[in-house]
Amino acid sequence: MDWISLAEEKQARYETSYGEEDERALVRRGNAAYAAGLALLMAGDPAAPEWLLRAAGGGRASWDAGAPRDAWGRQVGAIKAALLAGDDAAAVELARWTLELGSATAPSPIGRYAAMLALLVLERWPEARHVAESLRERDDFPHDVGDALAFVAAHDPVDFAAAVDSVVTSFETRSEYLEDVAVADTALVLDRLAARRGIAHELPDSLTLPG
Number of domains in the chain: 1
What is the SS3 assignment for the chain? CCHHHHHHHHHHHHHCCCCCCCHHHHHHHHHHHHHHHHHHHHHCCCCHHHHHHHHHHHHHHHHHCCCCCCCCHHHHHHHHHHHHHCCHHHHHHHHHHHHHCCHHHCCCHHHHHHHHHHHHHCCCHHHHHHHHHHHHCCCCCCHHHHHHHHHHHCCCHHHHHHHHHHHHHHHHHCCCCHHHCCCCHHHHHHHHHHHHCCCCCCCCCCCCCCC
List all residues 6 or more positions away from 5 whose beta carbon is below 8 Å from its beta carbon. Answer: none
Q: What per-residue confidence (pLDDT) applies to 137?
A: 86
119-137 b/e (C-beta count within 10 Å ≥ 16 → b): bbbbebeebbbebbeebee
| pTM (predicted TM-score) | 0.96
Amino acid letter, residue 79: I
Q: Which CATH number do you get for residue 134?
A: 1.25.40
Per the domain annotation, does 158 fall within a domain? yes
Q: What per-residue confidence (pLDDT) applies to 16?
A: 86
Per the domain annotation, does 201 fall within a domain? no
Whole-number Å distance between alpha carbons of 69 and 52: 23
Q: Domain range holding 124?
A: 3-196
Q: What per-residue confidence (pLDDT) applies to 68?
A: 87
Per the domain annotation, does 205 fall within a domain? no
Note down pLDDT in tens along the chain; length 211 residues.
Answer: 999 999 999 999 999 866 667 888 899 999 999 999 999 999 999 999 999 999 999 999 999 988 888 899 999 999 999 999 999 999 999 999 999 999 999 999 999 999 999 999 999 999 999 999 999 989 999 999 999 999 999 999 999 999 999 999 999 999 999 999 999 999 999 999 999 999 999 999 999 999 8
Q: What per-residue confidence (pLDDT) applies to 17?
A: 65
Per the domain annotation, does 203 fall within a domain? no
Per the domain annotation, does 82 fall within a domain? yes
Per the domain annotation, does 22 fall within a domain? yes
Amino acid letter, residue 170: S
Q: What per-residue confidence (pLDDT) applies to 19?
A: 63
Per the domain annotation, does 53 fall within a domain? yes
Q: What per-residue confidence (pLDDT) applies to 18?
A: 61
Whole-number Å distance between alpha carbons of 185 and 178: 10
Asked if residue 2 lies in contact with residue 171, where contact means CB atoms within 8 angstroms, the answer is no
Per the domain annotation, does 208 fall within a domain? no
